[in-house]
Chains A and B, each alone.
Chain A
Amino acid sequence: MRLHDRWRAGVLSVVILIVFLGLWQIATLPKTTAQVVDDEYAKLVGAAAATGQKSTFPTPLDVGHKLVLAISDPFYDKGANDKGIGIQMAWSMGRVCLGFGLAALVAIPLGFLIGMSRLVFNALDPFIQVLKPISPLAWMPLALFTLKDSSVSAIFVIFICSIWPMLINTAFGVASVRKEWIDVARTLEVSPWRKAIFVVLPAAAPTIMTGMRISIGIAWLVIVAAEMLVGGTGIGYFVWNEWNNLSIANILVAVFLIGLVGMVLDLIFARLQKAVTFRD
């Protein structure tokens, strides 16, 4: 029965996709209107402008064609400003891993400390709440100005944006460990270190993992914005560069791949989350 349901959901997904692509194709079909300018002029402008119209949104077929092109040669390197999409993805991934890794290194121990004491938690909470919603685009000029290095700035922005969910969730997870378990540990005279590692950590792990899952999602969101701003390398730069060329098809290819990678990252953390979750 459950398998049957899954099957039906899968079929429905495919139907939705086909309908979506079909509508897209119909909506963007090039209108076949006559050329309104002379041939000499037509040669100098795009096909749409020659018929007196604005250039149109690409059809799904155009995008598919660009996607195949991008994926068939993902690692080409034709100079500092023109690299394959695979290389760009690798750059972005590297930055995300660094920024996110640093954030985790800071957020988890700090969250642990904050969570242990209700007083500290309440005292720091307003600061965290104010810093949490700041957009990466607002951090970027500050980082560039103070850190004086664009690649460090990009990593810093990922760090500062992805630290908060982890920090809050760790603190919350640690603070809400069941009182009984702490009491049992106390009666057994367990040392504070052992208590932290063998009682509190496993109990808080699912919440911490949820925080990390939210954070990695944010980090992946942030990287595109950060790279669009500082340029140079990465998938965000790729999007910006294609925007520069008004190549909507290539931007859609990148959007699709960004979504795909984001999904894979989320799946990995979902698996990790499952692995540390236990039943009472």
Chain B
Amino acid sequence: MSLFSNPFDSNVRLRCSCGQHASDAEHRLGVKHDNLDSAQARQSRVVEQALMRAVFPQDAMRRKFLQAVGAPTALAALSALFPLAAAKEAFAQASGKIEKPNLKVGFIPITCATPIIMADPMGFYKKQGLDVEVVKTAGWAVIRDKTLNKEYDAAHMLSPMPIAISMGIGAAATPFAVPAIENINGQAITLAMKHKDKRNPKDWKGFKFAVPFDYSMHNYLLRYYLAEAGLDPDRDVQIRVVPPPEMVANLRADNIDGFLAPDPVNQRAVFDGVGFIHLLSKELWEGHPCCAFAASQAFISSNPNTYGALLRAIVEATAYAQKPENRKEIAGVIASPNYLNQPVTVVEQVLTGTFADGLGGVKKVPDRIGFDPFPWDSFAVWILTQMQRWGQVKGDVDYQQIANKVFLATDARRLMTEAGLVAPAAKSKSFTVMGKSFDPSKPKEYLAGFAIKRD
């Protein structure tokens, strides 16, 4: 059964294998229980359950007791013995005193940052007692430096960045952590209009591409895609780092032939008639991570309650953003000049997945972008293999140790559960990238399997 099931219901078992289902049968079928609406109600449930578990260590006994006296009587009796209301209240504030209520969080104006951005105008930060100023930042290097300088308490980063920073690649080594992923999918390869007949990557020799940063999923995915087509991304094409806002301008000026970029850049290129969407990144790797919510270990350990509240706000915003019915509303809010500064229709097309492809067709891909906060360890391991593959990291790498330290799956699971989300029980999972499956326990073998790589 779910953590939020009513413990005063005799038909409910307070035991299950993964914590989400009433029975193993249900667990196997993958039934999702509709959880309680408000966070407050969910928290009340957690308290009630804890009490019932304490009073009735054996679940069978609790059920017999409830059948005998009825739920209202049981509730009244227990309330008399135990200050249930007070406990619920205490639990609601259990996060403790917030050490630093005024925070600055940096973001890059792209749709990957949706949860971080919308949490401000839609009140997710306020609900946690935080006064967060979300600050638009010019580029990834600046956001890294401002976060390292402690000007920002936390920031929107590309998911490989905290790994690189923690390892001291391209920055002074500072322990960083990813307590939550922002989005999955949501990127695309866009090509200039003049290449609309060159849809086969094998014909792309000599092309100039742009990616937002060296340590980005965009860079790794583009390289992966090109290498699968037999092109060496370092020798047969040119890949440059261009900040997202400058990509469309460069494509327009014929400085580049295409890019693998975050949205709304791809959709904006279509909107301005400059390029077309060749493919969505989900076609390369369904469910790949992209951007992350990152903070330094120092911030996390010196402000544990603030960190908890901030993460809760992000996780709840992420859950809200994941629901298709909320996407239009969110697009309207974040497209404003204060945040993304884009035409509303561009952001709406990205979030709703009903979009113009640049070639005259309207596509409907509702899961073009997804929001899922869970920082799978295996994501970090995959990123590390690609860092090695392209020579960003030399020598042996302790994959699991770095993944464990940087991607805080345990924290995310706890907070996701508290927020009433279904958090996975495992920390690691295998997945498929362009038809090739990745086993996180065998990164070395995976790396050895690539024909095109740097030594």
Chain A residues close to B by CB (< 8 Å): 36-38, 40-41, 43-46, 48-49, 52-55, 78-82, 141, 144-145, 148-150, 228-232, 237, 240-246
Closest to A145 in B: B145
* Contact of B338 with A82 in the complex, beta carbons under 8 Å: yes
B138 at interface by CB-CB < 8 Å: yes
| Interface: B126 (CB within 8 A) | no
Is the pair A45, B362 in contact by a Cβ cutoff of 8 Å? no
Query: Does residue B355 face the partner (Cβ distance < 8 Å to A)?
Result: yes
11 pairs from A and B in contact (CB 8 Å cutoff) = A41-B360, A44-B355, A46-B272, A82-B336, A82-B338, A144-B145, A148-B148, A232-B135, A240-B245, A244-B109, A246-B249
Q: How far is the CB of A255 from chain B (nearest CB, A)?
A: 15
Min CB distance B194 to A, Å, is 11
Would you call B271 and A228 a contact (CB within 8 A)?
A: no
B271: which A residues are within 8 A, CB to CB? 44-46, 49, 55
- Sorted nearest first, the 6 A-B pairs with minimum C-beta distance are A49-B273, A82-B338, A244-B245, A44-B356, A79-B338, A231-B138
9 further A-B pairs in the complex, CB-CB below 8 A; given A44-B345, A144-B142: A38-B360, A44-B362, A49-B271, A54-B274, A82-B337, A228-B138, A231-B136, A242-B341, A246-B268
Per-residue CB contact flags for chain B residues 146-164 toward chain A (1 = under 8 Å, else 0) read 1011110000000000000
Give the Cβ gap from A167 to chain B, nearest Cβ, in Å.
29
Output the nearest chain B residue to A47 by Cβ-Cβ distance: B273
Using known A-B contacts A82-B338, A243-B249, determine if residue A45 contacts B142 with beta carbons closer than 8 Å: no
Q: Which parts of B177-229 form the interface with A (CB within 8 Å)? A: 193
Residues of B within 8 A of A38 (CB): 360
Q: In the complex the two chains form, is A231's CB within 8 Å of B273's CB?
A: no
A241 touches B142 (CB 8 A): no
* Distance in Å: Cβ of A220 to nearest Cβ of chain B: 20
Contacts A54-B274, A230-B138, A240-B245; A37 near B360 (Cβ below 8 A): yes
**A80 to B121 Cα, complex, angstroms:** 12
Are B138's CB and A149's CB within 8 A?
A: no
| B134 CB within 8 Å of chain A | yes
Docked complex Cα distance between A242 and B338 (Å)? 11
Q: Return the contact of B133 from the options A40, A80, A82 (Cβ within 8 A).
A: A80
Chain A residues, Cβ within 8 Å of B274: 54-55
Interface assignment of B252: CB less than 8 Å from any CB of chain A: yes
Interface string of B58-78 (1 = CB under 8 A from A): 000000000000000000000
Contacting A at CB under 8 A, from B303-345, are 336-339, 341-343, 345
B138 touches A78 (CB 8 A): no
Q: How far is the CA of A48 from the CA of B137 in the complex (A)?
A: 30
